[in-house]
Amino acid sequence: MKKITKIIFILALASCEAQNPESDMTSSVSVFQNVKVIDVRDGSITEGVNVVVENGKVTSMNASSNNFGKATIIDGKGKFLMPGLTEMHAHIPSPQWGRDRTDETLFLYLSNGVTTIRGMLGHPEHLKLRAKAENNEILSPRIFTSSPSVNGNSVKNREEANEKVAQYRADGYDFLKIHPGLKLEVFNEIVKTANDVGIGFSGHVPVDIGVRRAIASGYSSIDHIDGFLEGLVPASTNVDPNQNGFFGYNFTHLADAEKIDELAYLTKKYKVWVVPTQSLFGRWFSPVDPETIAGNDPDFKYMPRSTVEQWIKSKKSLIENPEYSVEKYVLFTDLRYQLIKSLHENGHGLLLGSDAPQVFNVPGFSIHHELAGIIDAGLTPLEAIQTGTINPATFFGMEGQFGEVKTGASADLILLDNNPLEDIKNLRKPAGVMVRGRWLDREMIDAMLLDIAERAKDI
């Protein structure tokens, strides 16, 4: 109980300090002094900049004066400043997890520089969290949230499709979350109603729909590169699409890589973004022994022991399947890398997302595995960073409001000891994170992480 109380106290303290200009520990004005600012559009770096933050926004850059009155001074000498990252396939705990787990999960994102999240399995409570985050009533990334799952069980016919889509729009969800199992006629009604009431839709590609029809229907984003591998299988094979396995894995040997650029072109034509979640496949679906990962990964200490045990069982059930082989996994991964590279170069674009907390993906920490994964697919560090900064801002129609260090933009910032454009690993363990003007220094981050790790031992 003491650990829980301490966590809540620190969160409340951070919230009060950020809102109280008279606090001894903070003020409404902060200055990153003499810092190197990274322009994530072109990779240029401007040295010796004073970045002034007031009331949650960047109000000045390269100010000539060094006299900032009662401002909180953050020493940026020798350090790099970049915009916070957006996790475009996040999960926010449901109420049954408990409010403590929700607070902890939101902080795990922040501790790794994730200052915006797109929740991909919505709940009415997430609408309240979104409002509280927007009003700075809680310490949290900016939140966008999907509706509850729209799938073959939750929406069985056209009437339900019409009713639920209209209701989710009226409730205020940012978009619909599409899951597997939808029949074609039901999906078509979902699309029609969504267009009529003005709500987008993202997520999986149901088998009955197929990736080409899904792209043409106007998904805002297709996540996991779902349906694409199946879309590489020639029609002449006459396979049963329902036998596709784990994101098309069973069809790996049938895929025609010559079709990759065509699918990428279609995403560009219909302006469909893609969220690879490659870390999910590199960790959950890789042939590496789950006990080895769980024993060696320091991130796992922030997750409840019971959760890690479930992850281990889930991974074992996948890789111990008779259909699974290391050779096939290598080919499967190579096809996904080719898809990622082509979707970046020839498609509409990629968005950064890791599907945390999904199997073997710890919130916040997993974003570093995702960045590494898309770099392995052929993107540069700058291009990888753009998928989590400029691209999400463009996706939400909020360019200039977040996603870059710019006067007038939200003060969602990461302070780093070393240049992430030289080595993406330099994004790990930031010197500090600012979220809408709230400064979280390394000492505070480490103290919070220690408490979360201690609590996880008992769950």
CA atoms within 13 A on the CB side of 382: 9
Alpha carbon distance 134, 143 (integer Å): 8
Alpha carbon distance 21, 246 (integer Å): 52
pLDDT in the model for residue 86: 98
Alpha carbon distance 343, 136 (integer Å): 36
Ranges in the chain annotated CATH 2.30.40.10 = 2-81+423-456
pLDDT in the model for residue 95: 79
pLDDT above 50 (res 195): yes
Closest Cα partner for 109 from 95, 89, 125?
Answer: 89
pLDDT above 60 (res 314): yes
Summarize pLDDT for 152-168 with one digit per residue, the tens. 999 999 999 999 999 99
CA atoms within 13 A on the CB side of 458: 9
Confidence band of 258 (pLDDT split at 50, 70, 90): very high
Summarize pLDDT for 7-46 with one digit per residue, the tens. 444 444 444 444 433 333 334 899 999 999 999 999 999 9
Can you spell out the DSSP letters for 314-367? Answer: HHHHHHTSTT--HHHHHHHHHHHHHHHHHHHHTSS-B-----BTSTT--TTTHH
- Range scoring the smallest mean pLDDT among 4-8, 26-30, 98-102, 233-237: 4-8
Peptide bond into 357 cis (omega under 30): yes
Ranges in the chain annotated CATH 3.20.20.140 = 85-404
pLDDT in the model for residue 98: 62
Summarize pLDDT for 407-426 with one digit per residue, the tens. 999 999 999 999 999 999 99
In percent, the amount of the chain with pLDDT more than 90 equals 87
pTM equals 0.93
286: three-class secondary structure by DSSP: coil
Confidence band of 4 (pLDDT split at 50, 70, 90): very low
Residue 189's identity, in one-letter code, is E
Alpha carbon distance 78, 177 (integer Å): 43
pLDDT above 70 (res 451): yes
Question: What mean pLDDT comes out for the span 94-111?
Answer: 86
122: three-class secondary structure by DSSP: coil
pLDDT in the model for residue 65: 66
Closest Cα partner for 255 from 333, 326, 344, 307?
Answer: 333
pLDDT in the model for residue 97: 63
Looking at the domain covering 85-404, what would its CATH class be? alpha beta
Is residue 397 exposed (0-12), middle (13-18) or buried (19+ Cβ within 10 Å)? Answer: exposed
CATH 2.30.40.10 fits 2-81+423-456, yes or no: yes
pLDDT in the model for residue 24: 35
Closest Cα partner for 201 from 187, 211, 213, 212?
Answer: 187
Summarize pLDDT for 118-143 with one digit per residue, the tens. 999 999 999 999 999 999 999 999 99
- Rounded to the nearest integer, the mean pLDDT of the chain is 93
**Cβ-Cβ contacts under 8 Å for 250 (sequence gap 6 or more):** 243, 244, 323
pLDDT above 80 (res 447): yes
pLDDT above 50 (res 2): no
pLDDT above 50 (res 108): yes
Question: What mean pLDDT comes out for the span 255-270?
Answer: 98
pLDDT above 60 (res 375): yes
Question: What mean pLDDT comes out for the span 237-260?
Answer: 96
Q: What is the distance, to the nearest Å, from the Cα of residue 441 to the centroid of all Cα atoms in its chain? A: 22
Asked if residue 274 lies in contact with residue 268, where contact means CB atoms within 8 angstroms, the answer is no
